[in-house]
Structure 1
Amino acid sequence: MSGDRSDGLVAVLDAIRTSPGITQPRLVQRVGLGRTVVAQRVAHLEAAGLVAQDGLAPSNGGRAPRRLRLRRAAGLVAGADIGATGMAVGLADLSGHVLVETHEPVDVADGPDGVLGRVEELVEGLLARLTDPPPLWGVGVGVPGPVEFATSRPVAPPIMPGWDGYPVRERLAGRFAAPVWVDNDVNVLALGELRTNPAAAATGDLLYVKIGTGIGAGLVSGGRLHRGVNGCAGDIGHVAVAEADTVICRCGNVGCLEAVAGGAALARDGRQLAERGGSPVLAEALAARGDLTAADVTAAAERGDPAARALLARAGRLVGGTLATLVSFYNPGLVVLGGGVVHAGDHVLAVIRESVYRRSLPLATRTLRIEPSALGAAAGLAGAVHLVLDNLFTPDRLALWLPWGSPSGHPEIVDTPDRPSA
């Protein structure tokens, strides 16, 4: 298939995917192709089983135009959002709508065989819950560590022993006979927000910052994820900060932002407060359970504990200072804050906002919005699903699998160099 023809198919299909019910005349305006060319591309997509008629639009005096929609039930996409202590696995249709999902605790430090084995079992179980399910078109996975995107292999992940260089793609592709893509969890969260939050989609240039056990950022530029050359763009948790120059990070370096402002750091500092008598509320929680988490620190702050509030304020100030640099450098329209530390209360969010607006360039913050994630934890599963959809429908991959009718049974298409769609 020629490049112009595949580009035209992708443009038409993208317009139909993103604007359900669009008519053919509107398609002509949207994609900038002639009426005859658009009609040919629509006919091609209908013959391939990807597009169907969805009734008639109101007439403007002539024949009523047909509405068109993606045949979203033609295939399924599996998504797995694997975190440090829990994971979500689901199946979605080709529009990205999650049909069935399940959540359960996990310890990513148990290693890839146990964790991915459980992912495989959960996907199979979800498929069994559907009546006459269509073929599985792809699998998307988010993991809490650096990933070389081209190979889908984790690289020296600090909290994932046994995962370094593990062939996640090859394992899951062998099990499900479908294309597989793997990315780090924050990129997946950013993608989920971008594809399902209208405000994020309208902005196009945003930072997604996760403050959980660790700290990371996903960068979106012009409506596309920016991963960098090797896939590690946005790893702000290991940016050096002066206040941490004596604290050893789990990555092995000294002075990382994550080591003083992440969820693990809050839990560590909260325990020290409790043991030294600096916080009666945290001491009570420690005595009751024998350990503390970042959520305990947030709960203590909500109860008015000044020491816990001071810990959260310090974390927010440190994260905000780093973000201020990024905002001045990158000039996004939206900063989305996610992760357990942010969702647990407003203390950190308020301090981050104050720090960013105070320390960034005035022009960089003129129209900047800083908001909590609209999806919360659900962004991870949504992003894992759209990780697959975005890659399946690039021009070169679509041209490759379209003659077969679907990418199911062709995991090798992940190796196809592609020119990203506009």
Structure 2
Amino acid sequence: MTLTVADAPATETTPGTAHFATPVTGAARVLHQIRTTPGITRTRLHEDLELSQPTVTRHVAALIDAGLVEQASPSQSSATTVGRPGTTLLPAGRHHTALGAHVGLRSTQLVAVDGSGRPLRSRTLKLPLADLSPEDALEAVSHGLTSLGRDLPDPVSLGVAFSSPVDAAGRVSSQAYGWDDVDVAGILGRADTGIPVSLATGVGAMAGAELTSTPLRSADNDIPGGRSSLYVYARELVAHSWIVGDAVHQPFTGTSPTAFTTIAESGSFRSSRGGTGHPLGTTAVLDAARRKGLGVSSIPELVALASSNAVARALLDERAELLGRIITLAVEVVDPATVVFAGDAFTADPDAVKIIAGGLQRSAPRRGLSIQRAGDGILSRAAAVTALHRLWTDPLG
């Protein structure tokens, strides 16, 4: 397989930033509900989406013809009901392929998925951005996706998410990456493959993964003002994103608030530049540990040592407290219903989550905030939803 397919209009294939939101068109809403509620019936689609029965029937037929939905046999339980048993609907898309990447500071996660989001292949590409020019790094990502998709059906879409912000014009400026106003959209668009390409900020794609995996609600079940969630990702880099209503917030500049940076740089961790990550990221924390005489090479090692070493535990606690101050400030400004933590700053160190949660509860004990941790594979899901963004937004386009 190569990334060359039939020519398509330039307006459809020019790389653009993904705007993650609940679907708008009837066909996209029907596909979303079938993907997130496998085994749903046409009657239930009519009730959930408040579409007429003929409209549901028309959209389902078109999606079946497109190979994105398939019809299953009536369930055994329906045999006891009065009248003709209804068939159930399942996501299909097996003959579609989408290729996605999440570009981190030192490694890139590559995924191949089918049209329903089922994983087909994955690979981790060691790609230290500080050692490469932006052009060479993006060429390596493109080559990695081509290799990953070999012998699979030609991809219908590509997606690349970055752990640093991507602005509306498809440009990346990142002190951590060592990139200054890099035209990512232009560089990736030079290949002229004819395949639609979506770009995203990684933590925004993580938030988008929740929207794409949550069934749509009927009007009677709507939350006043819609859902609101704060996503925080902390590994080599630290970033956040919002779900407000039924869309992921699109920041105007994508830069971290000055107040957040001031907090991050106020402790024992050195400000990091030019490919060495965030002041509260993995590299900065491990550098601080080594300065204190701790011979560790990963956050899990530092967490394991902290069970018997007070210096290691104090270092992790300090990072958690600084992260907690940043998160508390964000929560107080926007007042979300849910906070979701992703990245090994949280997953590798459960005590960090307790410290941050305790700070949030002390700042607003009656807020009723729901605190969650993202599951494993969040980087792969971010890459996949970016890759599938155009298909799921306009499945019949």
Quick one: distance in 2 between partners of 1:246 and 1:341? 16
After superposition, the CA RMSD in angstroms is 3.1
The aligned residue for residue 126 of structure 2 is 105
Q: Which residue of 2 aligns with 1:379?
A: 378
Matches within 5 A, 1:11-410: 11-57=29-75, 58-59=78-79, 60-109=81-130, 110-128=132-150, 130=151, 133-148=152-167, 150-154=168-172, 156-162=173-179, 164-168=181-185, 171=188, 174=191, 176-192=193-209, 195=212, 204-230=227-253, 232=254, 238-241=260-263, 244=266, 249-250=271-272, 258-259=278-279, 261-274=280-293, 282=294, 285=295, 294-302=299-307, 304-359=308-363, 361-364=364-367, 366=368, 368-375=369-376, 378-394=377-393, 397-398=394-395, 401=397
C-alpha distance in structure 1 between counterparts of 2:233 and 2:211, whole Å? 15
Give identity over the alignment, percent. 25
Check whether the contact 1:193–1:379 (CA below 8 A) recurs between aligned residues. no
> What amino acid does structure 1 have at the position aligned with 2:113?
A
- Matched residue type, 1:55: S
- 2:96 corresponds to which letter in structure 1? G
Indicate if the aligned counterparts of 2:235 and 2:345 stay in contact, CA closer than 8 A. Answer: yes
CA distance in 1, matches of 2:69, 2:344: 40
| Mapped partners of 2:214, 2:259: distance in 1 | 25
CA contact (8 A) 1:78 1:136 kept: yes
- Map Cα deviations across residues 56-79 of structure 1 (whole Å, 9 max, x no partner): 242532122122223321311111
Would you say how many aligned residue pairs link Structure 1 and Structure 2? 359
Deviation string, structure 1 residues 251-278 (Cα, Å, up to 9, x no partner): 69xxxx953x33333223222222xxxx
After TM superposition, give the deviation of residue 171 of structure 1 in Å: 1.9
Q: With the length of structure 1 as denominator, give the TM-score of the two structures.
A: 0.75
The one-letter amino acid of 1:265's match is A
Cα distance change of structure 1 residues 233 and 64 upon mapping to structure 2, 3 Å threshold: farther
Q: Give 5+ residue unaligned stretches, structure 1.
A: 1-5, 275-281, 287-291, 402-422
CA contact (8 A) 2:196 2:390 kept: no
Query: What SS does structure 1 have at the residue aligned with 2:195?
Result: coil
SS of aligned partner of 1:33: coil
Secondary structure of the 1:393 match is helix
Q: 1:16 to 1:296 in 2, by over 3 A?
A: closer
Aligned counterparts of 2:321 and 2:179: Cα–Cα separation in 1: 34
Rounded Cα–Cα distance in structure 1 between residues aligned with 2:301 and 2:259: 22
Q: How has the CA–CA distance of structure 1 residues 47 and 227 changed in structure 2, closer, same or farther, with 3 Å as cutoff?
A: same
Q: Report the TM-score, using the length of structure 2 for normalisation.
A: 0.79
Q: Which amino acid in 2 is paired with 1:54?
A: A
Task: Verify the 8 A CA contact 1:237 1:258 in the aligned structure 2.
Answer: no
Worse-matched range after superposition: 320-329 or 242-251: 242-251
Structure 1 residue 151 displacement after superposition: 2.7
Stretch deviating more after TM superposition (32-41 or 304-313): 32-41
- Amino acid corresponding to residue 316 of structure 2 in structure 1: L
**Is this contact kept in 2: 1:28–1:34, CA < 8 A?**
yes
The 8 Å contact of residues 210 and 216 in structure 1, kept in 2 or not, is answered as: yes
| Equivalent pair of 1:153/1:164 in contact (CA under 8 Å) | yes
Q: Does the C-alpha gap of structure 1 residues 51 and 355 become closer, same or farther in structure 2, counting only changes over 3 Å?
A: same
Q: One-letter code of the match for 2:286?
A: A
Could you give the per-residue CA deviations for residues 159-188 of structure 1, whole angstroms, max 9, x where no partner exists?
A: 223463223465257364211112222223
Instruction: Indicate the SS of the match to 2:94.
Output: helix
Per-residue CA distance 1:174-222 (angstroms, 9 max, x = gap): 3642111122222233334554589xxx994322212222311121223
**One-letter amino acid of the counterpart of residue 114, structure 1:** D
Contact in 2 for aligned 1:215/1:236 (Cα 8 Å): no
* Distance apart, 1:248 and its partner CA: 6.8
What is the rounded CA distance, in whole Å, between the counterparts of 2:241 and 2:312 in structure 1? 28
More helix by percentage = 1
Contact 1:216-1:235 at 8 Å conserved across structures: no
Cα deviation, residue 126, structure 1: 2.1
The answer to whether the 8 Å contact 1:91/1:100 transfers is yes
Q: Secondary structure at the match of 2:34?
A: helix
Match in the other structure for 2:13: none
Alpha-carbon distance, 1:97 to partner:
1.5
Corresponding residue for 1:407?
none
